[in-house]
Structure 1
Amino acid sequence: MTVLILTCEQDVTADMVVAELNGAGVPVVRLDPADLPGGVALSGEYVHGSFHGHLSTSGRLVSTDGLRSIWIRRPGEPAAHVAEPSAWLTEETSQALYGMLHATGARWMNRPEAARRARRKPWQLHLAQRSGLPVPATLITTFPQAARDFAARFPDLVVKPVSGTHPEDPPRAVPTSRIAPDADFAAVAFGPTLLQRRIAKRADIRLTAVGERLLAARKPAAPDPDHVDVRFAPSVGPWQPVDVPASIATGVHTYLREAELAYGAFDFVEDSDGIWWFLECNQSGQFGFVELDTGQPIAATVAKWLAGPEPESEPHATPATRPT
């Protein structure tokens, strides 16, 4: 049985998992939907009440009947690499590829529909609240007066994008930034703006969830309170392994179950009282930088999940009550 990985050509995170699968002797095929049609080909036959499909890439032919799992890491847009791309061909190719893959008995990390929903930050915040995870007070608005009223209630705010990465070529990360005390918020009328109470953090937390396994790492926060985004702040030390509080573990497992995710990279910040505040969950987040610092076997854990069966039903967790 073969593991199928859908991702772009240059993906070091996927490289790490492929190496683990190869080391364990588990067959693996990696392809980018952006190369279909062209470098990648497909065929599916529906005859006499049965379905048989095949995928071909780099000279390898794999039967969809032989797929044990499918990992959607960072795939390109279907048909993006053809000579004359079009929205029509992209939709046709996407329907053909993902429709065929859904007809297999393979396990997904993560299902496309669950992954698309999980990217929506407003939904993430609501689900985190429902799961019992602490969520900083947040406002998403295009009403300037609503922003002003929110700032009066929570004077120390940060602003961040609702959707995440800016869709440039290549994509550009937009940092989380503090709001100036004299901001008048008139500009929020021109687009949805996410304002959030700044947590005076003593550390950043990255929690990588793979199935039931949780691997968390902690990094001390930069001393300058204006450096709110760990991606752009000067480093004051490496990531270090850290135990997951029981209430956070319960909330994360509830979140994953409700989101129908097998994998999630959770970002928290830790305040002076030791509370972990939920910021977001990336359903296909990177983990290589954490593994390199901590030595945590994240790639091996992902490979093990992809290579082996999971229980048909997972135990239900009860949400813990946490501050909001």
Structure 2
Amino acid sequence: MTVLILTCEQDVTADMVVAELDGAGVPVVRLDPADLPGKVALSGEYVHGAFRGHLSAAGRLVSTSGLRSVWVRRPGVPAARADESSAWLTEEASQALYGMLHATGARWMNRPDAARRARRKPWQLHVAQLSGLPVPATLITTFPQAARDFAERFPDLVVKPVSGTHPQDPPRAVPTSRIPPDADFTAVAFGPTLLQRRIAKRADIRLTAVGDRLLAARKPAAPDAADIDVRFAPSIGPWQAVEVPARIATAVHAYLRRTELAYGAFDFVEDADGVWWFLECNQSGQFGFVELDTGQPIARTLAQWLAHQEPEPKKRLFGTARTAP
């Protein structure tokens, strides 16, 4: 049985998991839907109530009936590298590839429809609240007066993109930034703006959920740092493995059930009282930087899930739930 990984060519995170699967003797096929048609080919036959499908990539032919799991990591847009690409061809290639894969008995990390839904920041915040995760007061608006009123109630605010990415090729990361006290909110009318109460944090938390396993890491935050986004702030120490409070573990599992995700990279900030505040969940987030610092076996855990070889919960090495501080 083969693991299928859908991702772009340059993906170090996928490389780490492929190495774990290779080491365990699990067959792997890796392809980018952007190469369909061309370097990637497919065929599916529906005859007399039976389905027979095949995928070809990098000189390898695999039967879709022999797929044990599909990891949708960071795939390109189907047909993006076709000789005569078009929106029509992209839709045709997407329907053919993902439709055939959904007709198999393979399990997904994550299903494309669930992943698309889970990317929507307003829905993330709603599901996080329903699941019992602490969520900072947040406003998404195109009304300047609504932004002014929100700023009066919560004078210390940050602004961040609703989608999380900038529409540029390649997309640029847009940092979370602090709002000055005398901010003019007139420009809010020109596009949806996400304002959020700033949490005075003492640490950043990255919690990686793989199936039912939770692996969390903590990184101390510099006091009063000008850069509040952990991706751009100066480091005052490495990521360190940390246990997951029991109430957070329960809420994260509820979040995963509601979103139908098998994998999620959760970002929290920890305040002075030890409360973990939910910021977002990236359904295809990176984890290599955490594994390098902490030694947590995230790639191995993910490979085990894809290979249907997860250890029993009692054997967890990191991220064991404990009583909340």
Cα deviation code 1:180-221 (max 9, x no counterpart)? 100120000000000000000000000000001000000011
Within 5 A, what are the aligned runs for 1:1-324? Answer: 1-308=1-308
The structural deviation recorded for 1:309 is: 6.2
Offset, 1:306: 0.2
Q: Deviations over 1:13-62 (max 9, x none)?
A: 00000000000000010000000000000000001111100000011000
- Does the CA-based 8 Å contact 1:200-1:225 persist in structure 2? no
Return the alpha-carbon distance in structure 2 between the equivalents of residues 310 and 135 of structure 1.
31
**Residue equivalent to 2:319:** none
Q: Match for 2:172: what amino acid?
A: R
Structure 2 letter corresponding to 1:239: W
Give the letter for the 1:257 counterpart: R
Q: Secondary structure at the match of 1:230?
A: coil
Cα distance per residue 1:197-246 (max 9 Å; x no partner): 00000000000000010000000112234321000001111000001000
What is the Cα deviation at residue 169 of structure 1?
A: 1.1
RMSD: 1.2
Q: Describe the SS at the equivalent of 1:73.
A: strand
Q: Any conservation in 2 of the 1:35–1:79 contact (CA below 8 Å)?
A: yes
> Identity of aligned pairs, percent?
86
* Structure 2: runs of 5+ lacking an equivalent: 312-323
Q: Number of paired residues?
A: 312
Q: Following the alignment from structure 1 to structure 2, what is the Cα–Cα distance between the partners of residues 236 and 161? A: 26
| Equivalent pair of 1:32/1:76 in contact (CA under 8 Å) | yes
Supply the distance in 1 between the matched residues of 2:37 and 2:6 (Cα, whole angstroms): 15
Decide whether the 8 Å contact of 1:78 with 1:94 is kept in 2.
Answer: yes
CA apart distance, 1:310: 7.4
Partner amino acid for 2:129? Q
TM-score (norm 2): 0.95
1-structure distance, mates of 2:112, 2:310: 19
Looking at structure 1, the residues matched to 2 and 182 of structure 2 have their Cα atoms a distance apart, in angstroms, of 58
8 A contact 2:5–2:29 mirrored in 1: yes
Q: Which amino acid aligns with 1:173?
A: A
Q: Normalising to structure 1: TM-score of the pair?
A: 0.95
Give the SS at the match of 1:136: coil
Structure 1: state its 5+ residue gaps: 312-321
1:41-84, Cα deviation, whole Å (9 max, x unpaired): 00000011111000000110000000000000000000001122
CA contact (8 A) 1:178 1:228 kept: yes
Which amino acid is the alignment partner of residue 64 of structure 2? T
Query: How far off its partner does 1:170 sit?
Result: 1.2
Shift of 1:176: 0.3
SS across alignment from 2:284: coil
Distance 2:222 2:230 in 1: 8
| Amino acid of the structure 1 residue aligned with 2:201 | K
